[in-house]
Amino acid sequence: MTAIPIPAPEMNSAETALALALLLLAPLAIAGIALINTGLGRSRSAAQALLGNLALAAIAMIVFALVGASFVGGWPGGWELAIHTGGTAWNLLHAGPLLLGGLAAAAPRAQLAVLFQFLSVAFVAIIPWGSGADRLRLAAGCTVAALLAAIVFPLAAHWVWGGGCLAALGANFSLGAGFIDAGGAGAVHLLGGVCALAVVWISGPRRGKFPKEGLSTAMPGHNASYVLFGCMVALVGWLAWNIAGALLWLPAPLAALPITAINTLLSASGALVATFVVTRLRFGKPDASLCANGWLAGLVASSACAAIVSPGASLFIGAVAGVFTPLLVELFELALSVDDPSGAVTVHGAAGLWGLLAAGMFAPQPGQFVAQLVGIAALLGLMLPLVYLLFSILNRVVPFRVDPDGERIGMDLHELGGGAYPEFVIHRDESYR
């Protein structure tokens, strides 16, 4: 155990006010994802899906305040747990006061950083919820959120944002500026995608999704309007998120922030147009839900690199994300039998990974690409096995999957006792064979 002083760069009052205002807008990204998760599920699970998004975010933030934030650190007090190899300290974990002790007396920048992490942990918690739609129990979702907020997210956040081993790659090994992830493409989206994959594996596919014969059954989302409106709401939040992240974690000067916003817009736009074209070519008509996934993939990819690349590079990064998103969604469903209703594994996991790689490819500093590779290897190679192990144990205690009767009547009736659309006529589900 080693005590390592935490650097505390200061922000002037204008930067502080701007960062606070942006962080008050950032929850719109979470709201957008909640709408998308709900719209991509079935109508008989809509209320449970939206309530789940709220409940998971709330539980994740409470647990993060109680326990998780003390492992991330970033304000004075506590210890850094580090191991030493070859004269280099690998800062793995912070052990600070519980219940945000001492935060009120910390500098504004440290408080804003913790607020950013609060929003991030809520975001991470709701990403796997969309993948488990229509069969993941609310109790299981809540325990997953608590586990993520207590252990998994704090580890990743400390490594990336809390002065941990990944952030120090630049200082310790001359690898560019260390692992760059200003908007949370790694600590939020790649981690969320990894958790989504683990949830899908453990909870299994929905009944009738992969019949014994023939192709997989199409189970389209019940409300494309929710999905597309969610994309628009998410854009506002994402702009705020990326700019606030650039201010807090790079830290970028005020003059660089408009370009960050433009890059975010270009990445999302390039991704949407690319997905539109790809789905038009493949299916004869553009697919609304896949286009929404493409838009989100562009936003996710921009989270890693919007603050450090040129507008042209940003457009290219978004376009690439828009091309691979529909293809990967199709590959996961048809070839790999991964039943992921919200497409979170692709949209958050794969696009986050691509954004981090692209940040290394287009960043001006030498060695940045290697730093990004090491960071991705950590977030993917360590976190997926860890999350899978933790979720498998959790599944023994709190079963993830609802019983067959609950799945048949819908999660709303089974878990909440009432549907989201009580005046609608519910049609018989033809997918049960």
x/- contact string, 145-184, with other proteins (CB under 8 A)?
------------------------x---x-x---------
Is there binding between residue 373 and other proteins (CB under 8 A)?
Answer: yes
Structure tokens belonging to residue 398: 């709190």
Q: Is 285 in the site for other proteins (CB under 8 A)?
A: no
> For residue 156, what is the enclosing H or E element?
helix 153-160
350-369: contacts with other proteins (CB under 8 A): 366-367, 369
**Counting contacts by CB under 8 A, is residue 408 touching other proteins?**
no
Q: Closest separation between CB of residue 125 and other proteins, Å?
A: 22
- Please say whether the dihedral angle defined by the alpha carbons of residues 292, 294, 300 and 306, taken in this order, is positive or negative: negative
291/402 with CB nearer other proteins: 402
Q: Which helix (H) or strand (E) holds 39?
A: helix 27-40
Rounded CA gap, 69 and 67, in Å? 6
- For residues 217 and 206, give the distance between their C-alpha atoms in angstroms, rounded to a whole number: 10
66-87 burial by CB neighbour count: b if 16+ within 10 A, else e? ebbbbbbbbbbbbebbbeeeee
329 binds other proteins (CB under 8 A): no
Nearest-angstrom CA–CA distance, 293 and 227: 9
Q: For the chain, how many residues are written?
A: 433
CA–CA gap between residue 154 and residue 176 (Å, rounded) = 24
**Is the CB of 312 or the CB of 364 nearer to other proteins?**
364
Taking the C-alpha atoms of residue 180 and residue 250, their distance in angstroms, rounded to an integer, is 8
- Judged by beta carbon, residue 364 or residue 385, the one nearer other proteins is 385
Q: Is 388 in the site for other proteins (CB under 8 A)?
A: yes
| Member of 338, 351, 356, 359 binding other proteins (CB under 8 A) | 338
User: Considering only CA atoms, which of 36, 18, 24 is closest in space to residue 299?
Assistant: 36
Q: Which of 9, 86, 418, 422 lies at the binding interface for other proteins (CB under 8 A)? A: 86
Please report whether residue 327 would count as binding other proteins according to CB under 8 A. Answer: no
Name the token pair of 172. Answer: 């310790």
Task: Give me 294's structure tokens.
Answer: 């493409």
Binding status of residue 381 toward other proteins by CB under 8 A: yes
Enumerate residues 6+ apart whose C-beta is below 8 A from 244: 19, 22, 23, 26, 112, 116
Q: Which residue's CB is nearer to other proteins, number 97 or number 367?
A: 367
Least distance from other proteins to the Cβ atom of residue 90, Å: 8
Name, in order, each residue with C-beta under 8 angstroms of 281's C-beta and a sequence gap of 6 or more: none
Contact 278, 322 (CB under 8 A): yes
Q: Pick from 66, 101, 394, 401 the residue near other proteins by CB under 8 A.
A: 401
Give min distance, CB of 386 to other proteins, in A.
9
Q: How far is the CB of 29 from other proteins (least distance, A)?
A: 27
Closest CA to 115 of 86, 75, 55: 75
C-beta separation of 116 from 367 below 8 A: no
Residue with tokens 């039998």: 337
Using rule CB under 8 A, residue 374 touches other proteins:
yes
Note whether 336 binds other proteins by CB under 8 A.
yes
Contact with other proteins (CB under 8 A) among 334, 337, 364, 424: 337
Contact with other proteins (CB under 8 A): which of 384, 414, 419, 420? Answer: 384
CB of residue 134 vs other proteins: minimum separation in angstroms?
Answer: 12
Least Å distance, CB 385 to other proteins, is 4
CB of 403 to other proteins, least distance (A): 10
β-bridge partners, 218: none
* CB 212, min distance to other proteins, A: 4
Would you give the binding string for other proteins spanning residues 190-229, x where CB under 8 A is met? -----------xxxxxxxxxxxxx----------------
Q: Positive or negative, the Cα torsion across 26, 304, 150, 20?
A: negative
Closest CB 66 distance from other proteins, rounded Å = 29
Q: Which residues bind other proteins (CB under 8 A)?
A: 85-86, 88, 169, 173, 175, 201-213, 336-338, 366-367, 369-370, 373-374, 376-378, 380-382, 384-385, 388, 401
